[in-house]
A = this chain, B = another copy of it.
Amino acid sequence: MTNEYPKYWDKELETTPPEEIEELQEKKLRNQMEYVYNNSKFYHEKFNEWGVDPGDIQTIEDLSKIPFTDKPMERNTFEGGENPLGENQTASVEDIVRIHSSSGTTGPPVYFGLTEGDIKTWSNCIARCFWTAGVRPSDVVMYGMGLSMFVGGIPVLDALREIGCATVPAGAGMGSSRFLNIAKDLNANVFGLTPSFARYLIESAEDMGLDPREDLNFEKYFAGAEPGMGEEHIRREIKEGWGLESARETLGIGEMVTVLAAECEQEYGMHFMVPDLIIAELIDPDTGEVIEWEDEAEGELVYTAIDRRATPLVRFRSHDYAKVWRDDCECGRTTHKVRVIGRTDDMIIYKGVNVFPTAVREMVGQFKPKVTGYIQVVLDEPGPKVEGTPTLEVEVSDDMKESELEDLRKKIGKVLQSELLFTPEIEFVSQGSIERSKYKADLVRVED
């Protein structure tokens, strides 16, 4: 089995100077705005209502002339219209070859159509991300995310096929023990899962009497669908728990493309891998002002598809709040790096300060092994504005002595206050009492 593969999936694109990429982006942007205006009933009306002419949008800077689109707006395009795929459907049913949907857990599902061309473009872009995250043709890859309807399902399998690794389409529905048995039978060396599931499986393996490091052959892990890998204690837990060579984060958004950013071997922030497909902007989530992609800037990611036939979205608010880097990465890729700090939906505004539960988890996680790394913020009322004092449940390890708790409480409190200006009531709960989730971890709970 050879491992002499090229370093990049698409060397030219990945190592081109940003200015050249911008030229390509602006050319595609101009075409896409014309296409959207002429083919999307939704945007045609919106552009007219907003007083935006597609010809006004010549550069990336010009994008700020266009108001944002968001999920509720997108959902409205499905109501009362004649097209079952909504009023933002720009391709005919004949041209659409696959229909995916958002989960529909927080409202009626939103559907996305893809043409054969869209699927090919996606496959190539997603493959580029997984290649960056370390997947190679000689790998045996267990893929454990949802396959039914989910944009992170079949399109990811298409992309893994494009890479040519031996993909095992496990999906998210099977139990942990079956997942682990298959991985063991097939000697799988790569797995792709949410960080929640990857952590959960360590406990499951141990419950089955397996040593995750010895009895399974996992060498590489790629994470997706929720933040977590940006928190060092979580990455370490997964990497050490499974005895991995690499554990890398990927980022995507169903409305744009399932995977659009991935970490390289530096494992420090994800390269934005699809500048030929999407323009990403950073904005202030409160004011909507565009924020420069300067090194260490923070803001909400807003995406505009510049190469999409069906269901094209323009300036779509992701609600992902991210930090970005523009330093020269040692891997040689010239694309910016990004790390999602949290969902703006999950964000709490406490005493006038924005607090992300993932950031709270990160701070608490530093106290491992005294704590397990599982936390939950408990609110009286749904956020973002928090009036009273929130409770922070912190799971402590079974090995902790009662006498050590007060000291730990003080230390956690101090870090939270100094790093996040966050001063919750800290309540210790016993190991295993915070529910483990196979999919996305719920970090906030509302209780009366």
Contact = CB atoms under 8 A, between A and B. Distances in A.
The oligomer's copy count stands at: 2
A100 B169 contact: yes
Contact of A149 (B100, B140, B182): B182
B98 A161 contact: yes
A157 B149 CA distance: 12
A111 B185 contact: yes
Contacts of A173: 148, 173
B111 A166 contact: no
A413 interface: no
A400 interface: no
Contact of A84 (B2, B85, B169, B185): B185
Contacts of A149: 168-171, 174, 182
A164 interface: yes
B109 A166 contact: no
A154 interface: yes
A148 B164 contact: no
Nearest to A186: B84
Contacts of A167: 97-99
Interface string A191-214: 000000000000000000000000
A91 to B, nearest CB: 10
A96 interface: yes
Contacts of A185: 78, 84, 108-109, 111
Contact of A116 (B147, B164, B174, B182): B164
A54 B293 CA distance: 66
Given A149-B182, A164-B116, A185-B109, A94 B138 contact: yes
A165 interface: yes
Given A84-B187, A148-B147, A182-B149, A98 B169 contact: yes
10 A-B pairs closest in CB distance: A148-B171, A147-B147, A96-B166, A84-B187, A84-B186, A99-B168, A173-B173, A97-B161, A98-B167, A94-B138
24 contacts: A1-B92, A84-B185, A84-B186, A84-B187, A93-B140, A93-B166, A94-B137, A97-B164, A97-B165, A97-B166, A97-B167, A98-B157, A98-B161, A98-B166, A98-B168, A99-B168, A99-B186, A104-B178, A113-B166, A116-B164, A147-B148, A149-B170, A153-B169, A173-B173
